[in-house]
Structure formats: structure tokens, C-alpha cells
Amino acid sequence: MRPLTEEETRVMFEKIAKYIGENLQLLVDRPDGTYCFRLHNDRVYYVSEKIMKLAANISGDKLVSLGTCFGKFTKTHKFRLHVTALDYLAPYAKYKVWIKPGAEQSFLYGNHVLKSGLGRITENTSQYQGVVVYSMADIPLVSRDGSYYRTQVLFYSRRICFQSG
Amino acid sequence: MEGQSVEELLAKAEQDEAEKLQRITVHKELELEFDLGNLLASDRNPPTGLRCAGPTPEAELRALARDNTQLLINQLWQLPTERVEETIVARLPEPTTRLPREKPLPRPRPLTRWQQFARLKGIRPKKKTNLVWDEVSGQWRRRWGYQRARDDTKEWLIEVPGSADPLEDQFAKRIQAKKERVAKNELNRLRNLARAHKMQLPSAAGLHPTGHQSKEELGRAMQVAKVSTASVGRFQERLPKEKAPRGSGKKRKFQPLFGDFAAEKKNQLELLRVMNSKKPQLDVTRATNKQMREEDQEEAAKRRKMSQKGKRKGGRQGPGGKRKGGPPSQGGKRKGSLGGKMNSGPRGLGDKRKGQRPGGKRRK
């Protein structure tokens, strides 16, 4: 377990900022406690300082996880966001997309969402913008592909597709 | 009338005197204890005035402080004075209060190897005289050290012992032996020190050839030998099929696990701020590398021109021109030069000066 280096922090922040923008500083600087990012076995965990001090007592090879896993660094040092980060990203999302109940199930199983399945969308969403998908009951959703939920807004002629990948 | 006024004046003068005295005299039930060396006055009077003061005792506290300070100053004025460089100075006596230790007691050091042995064997240090009579010089000389009594390296005549090689230099042998003794002593001193501070010494254990060493040991010894040159192994050639050693790169250093959380947060916020600002930030390293590359290219172009001119003129100008080099480097365009050390001097003095420029990392 170790803190992130400058380079790693930058890469991770760039990825997360695609979805939540400047609200990222609310994650870094929280009024209700000191939270920090720690790297363990290539995975980045967002954990409060108190829990981290307790976890420091566990040896590295026996420690499985701590706090919330935000994602992992791949072999070529790219950052992949994981579904477990959704709870922290959804409240701060800048661009949101609501999908109709009919398309919701399809999306959850990993398919694209067509324009007809689109319920609401925040205005000024540009193409290829990273968004967070919600159901009509304001529950953030993640597609079946599981470990990452990068969704982009692609505009094809006369259709808006949501590609989840 | 005048008498009256005189009396009045006298009375007034007396009143003034009394007031002045009142200001500098303080009445206390118990006398204060003074330690003038530390400028300390201890007041043991019970603080009844403070207790009945109520919630805001500031006025009473101030009065109390004033009174006690007045008494201390009165005491100071009674000290013997002297004149030091146009100022009158009172000499303070020695402090009587003993102040507690500033630093904790030093912990006992571990015994050296000799001390352990002596303790085991019960050897006590024999008291020896400092000076010894030296027959050769006919004077009292010290037992050890500079110009000692029996210095065998300083003898002018040494008999060659029967068993020794007649061509051996006995003087050199004695000097060598002395050096070895000194080195051994130094090593033992450092080892004792390392044991006392629980540090590790870099040792050459296992690197001496014994004839039966394993492949790994030999490999390790070879690596150490390779690196033990003046250039730390940079110009040592490898055999044709020899592979580069594993694990010889720089070890990465990470921040401590719970370092300063505030500093970490500040760095991250700063990074975010830089990311969010729309202007592209100046990368100092890249700017300096770019500048260096441009200068190199200019220099190369100039050299090429000079060599062409030299060939044409039949070699008259050539070597001189190359050696004197081009005009001094331009200083104007350096935006991000680190620390102002970027002014490389006259150029041509060494065409291959590539590695010596201060400033940013080379060729990132």
C-alpha cells in the first residue's frame, strides 16, 4: 500500500474529471473528514484516514481491499474506472442521462441505448462527453460489462446512441 | 506670606516625595524570593485579592504583576554596577535555581569489542606515564603519537634478518605494516561506531577469492568489482555474450504511507487547479531541452559552414575556426531556464561537451 505518485494522480484525475469535472475537488477536500487515495496491488482505493491507519496494520500480501476501490492501473499505466466508484461519482456528475424503463434493462445487459430510449438529458451535453446514466427513479446505472461503465454520447445521423464500454 | 508659601512648597515637595516612594515601595506580607541570576521573583503570598475579584480579574492581575515587577527592579537596582563601553551595567549574580535538563539523558552506548573482552577477562587499564626516556635522541619523548620515543619507521639503519629476502626493502615493509595497522584500527573504530548506532557498514565479506565460491557469489563479486571504478562502472566493457545485470536500476522512492495529509491534499488541489485552468502550462524541462536542441543544431550548421570554408581555402582557416568556435550563445530566448545556470560560455571549446550542460534533463 502506498500513496500515488504525481504521474499516477494526474492520470487518475484526468479520467475522473471526464465525468465530474471540477467537482473532483470536493472528493479530495471533504469537510467531514480526511480521505485519501492509496494504491494497493495496482488498484486505487479511496479511503478515510482512520480506516487507512487501521489497514496499515495488515501485511500487504494479506490485505485484499480497503475503503472503496475506484479503479485500477493497467500494465501500461492507464487508469480504468470501476463500478465501485459509482457511489462517489454519481452525486457529482456534471452531465446526466436518464433512460426510460424499457431501455433500462437493455442497457443493463450491455446494449446500446437508442434515442427512443432516452428520457432526459442535461442540456449542453456535447458529443463524446462522459456521462452518468440514471434510471427514471434517479438510480445510477452501470452496464453489464461490469468493471467499467464509461459511457459516451455518440451522435449519429438522426439517432443518439449511447455506447457503453 | 512668603513663609506660608515656603511652607506650602516644602509640604508639597514632601508630598511629592512620598508619592514617588509610594510608587516604588510595595507592601507585601511575605517577602518575595529572588533569583537575580535568572531574573526570577517568586511570590508566596496567598492570592486573596484574585479570588474575590470575580469573573474578570484582569485589573487585579495587572496590579499584582506591576507590584512584583517593581520589587524585582528594586532588587536589580541594588546590584553592583560597572561601566562597560559607555553604558552602565549591573552584573547579575550566579543563578541559584537549577533548571531541568533540556534534552533527555544520553542512553548508554554498547561496549566496544575490547571493552567486552577486558570485562570478561578482568583486565583493568594500567596507569602508564605519558613520557618515556628515549635513548636514541637522549630526551623524554611521548609514549605514542607525534615524535614518539620508539618509532620503528624512523630508524635509519635496519639489519636485514637472516630469514628475509636480501632484495626486500625493509623500510618499505615497516611503513606498509604501519599503514595496515592504522587501517585495521580505523576499521575497528568504525565497526564499533556502527554497532553503537545500530547501522550497517558496507563490507567486503564474501568478495575475496577463496577458490570455492558459488556462481552467484562470483557474479556478485564481479558486479562489485565492475562498479568500483572512478566512473562507478560507466565505461567498463562487457564480454560479447554477457548480459546486463538484473536489478541494477535506481530504486523508486515513494511518499510515506501516512505522511503529511495536509500537504498531500494541497498538492492534489494544486494539480487540479493546473488541470482545470485553460492555459497550457510551461513545462520547464521540455522548454530547456528544446532550447538546447536548437542551439546544438545551430552549432552543427556553423561547424559545417566553417569546415566547408576551410576546405575551400585550403585548410588555412579550418582548424583555427573550429577551435575558436562561434559567437557566444544567445541568452534572450530562454523562457524557462532553471536557476539562471543556462549560460554556456564560448562554444567551440570542446565540441563534445554534450553531457555537461546544467539545467533540465537531457533528451527526455
> pLDDT truncated to tens, each residue of chain B (364 aa)?
566 788 888 888 898 888 877 777 788 888 899 999 999 999 998 888 777 777 888 888 898 899 999 999 999 999 998 888 888 888 899 999 998 999 999 888 888 989 999 999 999 999 988 899 998 889 999 999 898 998 888 889 998 888 888 888 999 999 999 999 999 999 999 999 988 888 777 777 778 888 888 888 888 888 888 888 999 888 988 889 888 777 777 888 888 888 888 999 999 999 998 888 876 777 888 899 999 999 999 999 999 999 988 887 655 554 444 444 444 444 444 444 444 444 444 444 444 444 444 444 444 4
Q: Is A108 on the interface with B (CB under 8 A)?
A: no
What pLDDT score was predicted for residue A152?
Answer: 55
Residues of A in contact with B275 (CB under 8 A): 10, 13-14, 17
Is the pTM here over 0.90, yes or no? no
- DSSP letters, B257-289, are TT--HHHHHHHHHHHHHHHHSSSPPP-HHHHHH
**Residue A67 CB neighbour total at 10 angstroms:** 19
What is the residue-averaged pLDDT of chain A? 86
Query: Residues of B near A (CB-CB distance < 8 A)?
Result: 254-259, 261, 264-265, 267-269, 271-272, 275-276
Q: Please identify which residue in the block is written with the cell numbers 508630598.
A: B15
Beta bridge partners of B186: none
What pLDDT score was predicted for residue B214?
Answer: 87
What pLDDT score was predicted for residue A38?
Answer: 95
Quick one: cell of B326? Answer: 562561434
Residues of B in contact with A5 (CB under 8 A): 254-255
Q: Which of A97, A107, A83, A108 is nearest to A138 (CA)?
A: A97
CA distance B125 to B73: 56
Residues of A in contact with B259 (CB under 8 A): 3
What separation in angstroms does the CA of A143 have from each of A76, A111, A160?
25, 8, 17
φ, ψ at B230 (rounded to 5°): -65, -30
Note whether A10 contacts B268, CB cutoff 8 Å. no
Q: Please identify which residue in the block is written with the cell numbers 510515506.
A: B256
- Taking the CA atoms of residue B186, residue B192, residue B193 and residue B198 in that order, the dihedral angle to the nearest 10 degrees is 140
φ, ψ at A46 (rounded to 5°): -105, 115
Q: Please identify which residue in the block is written with the cell numbers 558496507.
A: B202
Size of interface A-B (CB pairs under 8 A): 50
Note whether B275 contacts A13, CB cutoff 8 Å. yes
CA distance A73 to A147: 13
Query: Is the Cα torsion angle B184, B187, B192, B193 positive or negative in sign?
Result: positive
Residue A8 has pLDDT above 80, yes or no: yes
CA distance B332 to A34: 47
Beta strands in chain B (DSSP E): 33-35, 40-42, 81-84, 87-90, 131-134, 139-142
Question: For residue A164, with 0-12 CB atoms within 10 Å meaning exposed, 13-18 middle and 19 or more buried, which class applies?
Answer: buried
Residue A138 has pLDDT above 70, yes or no: yes
What pLDDT score was predicted for residue B199?
Answer: 78
Quick one: cell of B299? Answer: 552549432
- How many alpha carbons fall within 13 Å on the CB side of residue A63? 22
CA distance B33 to B55: 29
Least CB–CB distance from B268: residue in A17, A28, A52: A28
**Residue A154 — very low, low, confident or very high, per pLDDT cuts 50/70/90?**
low
User: What's B110's DSSP letter?
Assistant: P
Three-state secondary structure string covering A42-103: CEEEEEEHHHHHHHCCCCCCCCCCCCEEEEEECCCCCEEECHHHHHHHHHHCCCEEEECHHH
Note whether A22 contacts B276, CB cutoff 8 Å. yes
Residues of A in contact with B276 (CB under 8 A): 17, 22
Collapsing DSSP to helix, strand or coil, B16 comes out as helix
Least CB–CB distance from A25: residue in B256, B264, B269: B269
Beta strands in B10-86 (DSSP E): 33-35, 40-42, 81-84
CA distance between the termini of chain A: 29
Q: Is A2 on the interface with B (CB under 8 A)?
A: yes
Q: Which of A49, A44, A41 is nearest to A13 (CA)?
A: A44
Q: Crossing angle for the helix pair B261-276 and A6-20, nearest 10 degrees?
A: 60
Q: Which residue of B has its CA nearest to A24?
A: B272
Is A131 within 8 Å of A125 (Cβ atoms)?
Answer: yes
Residues of A in contact with B268 (CB under 8 A): 9, 13, 28
What pLDDT score was predicted for residue B57?
Answer: 83
Q: Which residue of A has its CA nearest to B271?
A: A10
CA distance B287 to B272: 22
CA distance A70 to B71: 69
Is A4 within 8 Å of A12 (Cβ atoms)?
Answer: yes
Instruction: Select from B252, B257, B269, B278 the residue whose CB has the most chain A CBs within 10 Å, as the one to mutate to test that interface.
Output: B257
Is A140 within 8 Å of A133 (Cβ atoms)?
Answer: yes
Does A95 or B363 have the greater pLDDT score?
A: A95
CA distance B138 to B130: 16
What pLDDT score was predicted for residue B42?
Answer: 92
For the segment A143-153, the average pLDDT, to the nearest whole number, is 52
Q: Which of B210, B242, B202 is nearest to B226 (CA)?
A: B242
Residue A92 has pLDDT above 70, yes or no: yes
